[in-house]
């Protein structure tokens, strides 16, 4: 009597099934709205830049935030044939990068960070610039409004003036408090207090 043949380890596992349609499918890449787009992830000390993979052997690079480094970064992107670059408007770190890009003829695309959070994707430091570049190349990022350089300069002066006017009243109150603590109230304030006291007594 023959013993039943024991199945091998490979035969005991479930068989791999391939779909018949999968072999017929072809990878269809979405059309690029901005084929010469770059992505920038701006930090306080380092900036990561991503360009299309066919433009350079090392499409992701980083640089420091000094002025000379920013100009080298812009020159490298001009060499790669970049026409536009997207970045997030985080704090005030984007302003020098924005100005350097304009000087080198690259069109900046300033994006609201809230719109970036609504789009899923990798949020690590290294992949952030690549994700921004990918979204910008597909035309999924919309630039916020920023006026011309002359208008920005006048607007900065007006905002600074408004800040000084608001701080003026605070500093006057600080001086009045210091004089009161030193019991050195000016004569005009003494006359005001005496007049108010007489009015209260007569009432």
How does pLDDT run across 74-92, given as a tens digit for each residue? 999 999 999 999 999 878 8
Average pLDDT of the chain?
Answer: 79
Distance CA 13, CA 139 (A): 46
- Bridge partners of 88? 111
17, 37, 15: which is closest to 129 by C-alpha?
A: 37
Asked if the model's pLDDT at residue 142 lies above 90, the reply is no
0.75 cut: is pTM over it? no
Phi then psi dihedrals of residue 67, to 5 deg: -60, -45
Q: Are 176 and 170 in contact (CB under 8 A)?
A: no
pLDDT value of position 7: 55
pLDDT value of position 91: 83
Going by pLDDT thresholds of 50, 70 and 90, the confidence category of residue 194 is: low
Percent of the chain with pLDDT over 90: 32
Decide which of 184 and 145 is more confident.
145
Distance CA 158, CA 28 (A): 52
- Per domain, the residue ranges of the chain are 37-137, 152-202
CATH class, domain 37-137, is: alpha beta
Residue with tokens 């916020």: 144
The 3-state DSSP composition of the chain as helix, strand, coil percent (nearest 5) reads: 50, 15, 40
Which range (24-33, 60-69, 103-112) has the least confidence?
A: 24-33
DSSP secondary structure string for all residues of 165-181: HHHHHHHHHHHHHHHHH
Which range (68-72, 161-165, 180-184) has the least confidence?
A: 180-184
pLDDT value of position 37: 93
Q: Are 102 and 85 in contact (CB under 8 A)?
A: no
Asked if the model's pLDDT at residue 188 lies above 70, the reply is no
């Amino acid at each position: 009597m023959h013993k039943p043949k024991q199945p091998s380890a490979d035969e005991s596992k479930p068989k791999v099934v391939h779909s018949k349609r999968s072999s017929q499918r072809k990878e269809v890449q979405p059309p690029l709205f901005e084929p010469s787009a770059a992505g920038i992830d701006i930090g306080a000390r380092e900036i990561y830049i991503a360009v299309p993979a066919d433009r350079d052997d090392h499409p992701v690079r980083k640089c420091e935030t000094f002025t000379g480094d920013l100009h080298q970064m812009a020159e490298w992107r001009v060499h790669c044939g970049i026409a536009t670059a997207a970045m997030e408007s985080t704090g005030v770190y984007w302003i020098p990068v924005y100005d350097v890009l304009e000087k080198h003829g690259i069109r900046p695309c300033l994006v609201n960070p809230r719109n970036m959070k609504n789009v899923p994707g990798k949020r690590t430091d290294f992949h952030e610039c690549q994700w921004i570049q990918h979204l910008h190349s597909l035309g999924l990022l919309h630039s916020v409004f920023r006026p011309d350089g002359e208008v920005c300069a006048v607007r900065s002066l007006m905002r600074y003036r408004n800040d000084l006017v608001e701080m003026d009243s605070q500093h006057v109150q600080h001086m009045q408090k210091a004089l009161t603590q030193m019991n050195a109230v000016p004569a005009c304030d003494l006359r005001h207090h005496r007049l108010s006291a007489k009015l209260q007594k007569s009432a």
